[in-house]
Each structure stands twice: as C-alpha cells, then as structure tokens.
Amino acid sequence: MALPEHLIIASRKSRLAHWQAEHVRDRLANLYPRLAVEILGLSTRGDEILDRSLAQIGGKGLFVKELENALAAGEADIAVHSAKDVPMDLPEGFALAAILAREDPRDAFVSNAHARLEELPARAIVGTSSLRREAQLRSLFPQLEVRPLRGNVDTRLAKLDRGEYSAVVLAVAGLTRLGLAGRIRAVIDPEISLPAAGQGALAIECRAGRDDLVGLLAPLHDAATAACVRAERAVSRALAGSCQLPLAAYGQLTDSGLHLRGLVASPDGTQIVRAEVHGNAAEPEALGDALAAELRRRGAGEILAKL
C-alpha cells in the first residue's frame, strides 16, 4: 500500500500539546524525508473553560472532541493526544493507530519553598487538576488543603510562583517535555500517588480503516508501552473511568509478564480500594478486566455507587 505524501496533524494549541505534535512531526520527517507534515492547531472546550473542574464540565474527552471533528471532516489525518486524555471508548469510526514509548509516568512535586510532600506544614495549599491525585493526597496528608488547579503547565506554575499555592502536583512527563524538569523538587512514588491510565504516553488517533496511516506510523509504535496502556485503559473502561472518578491504573512489564496496579477512591480520600494483578502481557485487556473485577470485589463498587 502506497504511503501518503502529505500529512496534517491535529493538535491542541497549548505549548505542551504543540511539543507533542512537533515531536511526532520530527520523528516522521526523519523516517520519511519526502513526507510533508504540517500541524493544525485547534482550541478545545477543555482548554477554554478554566473556571470549573474537568469533572464539572464533562471530563477529559473535551480535550479531544474538536480534534476528532477535524479528522472526520478530512481537515487532518491524525491527532496527537496525551494517552491519559483519550476517552476509554472511542467514537465509532476512530481508532488508535500508534502508542509511543512512554516518558516517566509518575507525578511530580513542585514547590518553591519545600522539598517534599512530607515537609509541607499543616494547612499548606496544594494545587492539582486531578481527582485521582486529590483523593490520594487527602488520604495520606489530611492536614493539607488540596485545591483545584486548572490551566496549562505554564499557567499552573505561574499560580505557584505568585504564591497562590504552597506546592502543585503535575506530571513528570509534561514538565520534562517542556524543558521544565528543573522545577521538579521530588518525583512522587507510585505508592503515594499511583499514576493515571496512560500517563506519560502519547497516542495517535486516526479514522478507522486508514491502514496506510497505521503502516506509516508503525515505526513509532512501542509494543511494551502499548501493552501497559491497553491494560490500564481496560481497568478504567471496566469501571466507567473518567476524570470524574478518582481512579488510577499503572502497568509495568517484568521478566515474567505484566504487573498491573489500580485503585478507586472516594473524592475526599476517606475510602480507597487498592488491588494488583500479574499476568500475560500478550492479553492486556484481559488483565485489566481482572484487576477491575478484583477492585470491585474489594469494595470499589460501593464507592462507585455513591458517585
């Protein structure tokens, strides 16, 4: 099958999203010197509505809908997303063509005055955009005041620098990709803040049936990362996961298979159910379903029923 000669990448306009699109563009340029690649920057509702939490306005899918509209209209060929922002069930007619090798999936502690979460004084204000992070922080550090923090990475750091927060929790991957790793005071252990499904990985979406694009993107696809992300997404899918639910799922490949950890929490962090499974990396969705079932067996269903 002939590969295309021209490719348009749909991307959000934020600096991090543009970095991600440029990263894919540059890798494709190295692979296919004759391929002309351009980036179509789009504004999404998730970027525009900053005075309310994602849970209040409909979830992370708000970051991808406009990009999918561009794919459907033929205005773009592929869309580059943070994998954690991609809804667990894609609309009919769309598919994930590739999942790239993962950056560090952990959360980062960022503060101008304190070196670690454990050193924050009582009533210190910590900012986060994630119910998942918020619930875990409230559970382990009830003396802290956790407040919502919206906006792109630069906006969040600016709020910290203005003294609106004592510390903020962001993704290591985003800070690293923007050349801001120096702002990280400490990387948070997954035992304290288990990552979100897909965190640190990039996913490329296209219209279903575009085998030419799947072939074009095949050298960018990382099978090890894909196995972990597919397992994590299966957990979230089975538990109806979105940013409206404090849910985490984190897979790691070992010599003997895929180790998968997950948790479901109440938003206030007073209830947290944890579980882990180990199994065949060649069947990531089955492993994710097994972990979701174990979480339900341990009480996640009761937490979900209250949300």
Contact 164, 183 (CB under 8 A): no
Please report where in the chains the tokens 């950056």 appear, as a residue.
103
Residue of 26, 47, 77, 85 marked active site: 85
Assign residue 83 a region (left: φ > 0; alpha: ψ between -120 and 50; beta: otherwise).
alpha
SS (H, E, C) the chain: CCCCCEEEEEEECCHHHHHHHHHHHHHHHHHCCCCEEEEEEECCHHHHCCCCCHHHHCCHHHHCHHHHHHHHCCCCCEEEEEHHHCCCCCCCCEEEEEECCCCCCCEEEECCCCCCHHHCCCCCEEEECCHHHHHHHHHHCCCCEEEECCCCHHHHHHHHHCCCCCEEEEEHHHHHHCCCHHHCCEEECCCCCCCCCCCCCEEEEEECCCHHHHHHHHHHCCHHHHHHHHHHHHHHHHCCCCCCCCEEEEEEEECCEEEEEEEEECCCCCCEEEEEEEECCCCHHHHHHHHHHHHHHHHHHHHHHCC
> Would residue 85 show up in a list of annotated catalytic residues for this protein?
yes
Catalytic residues: 85
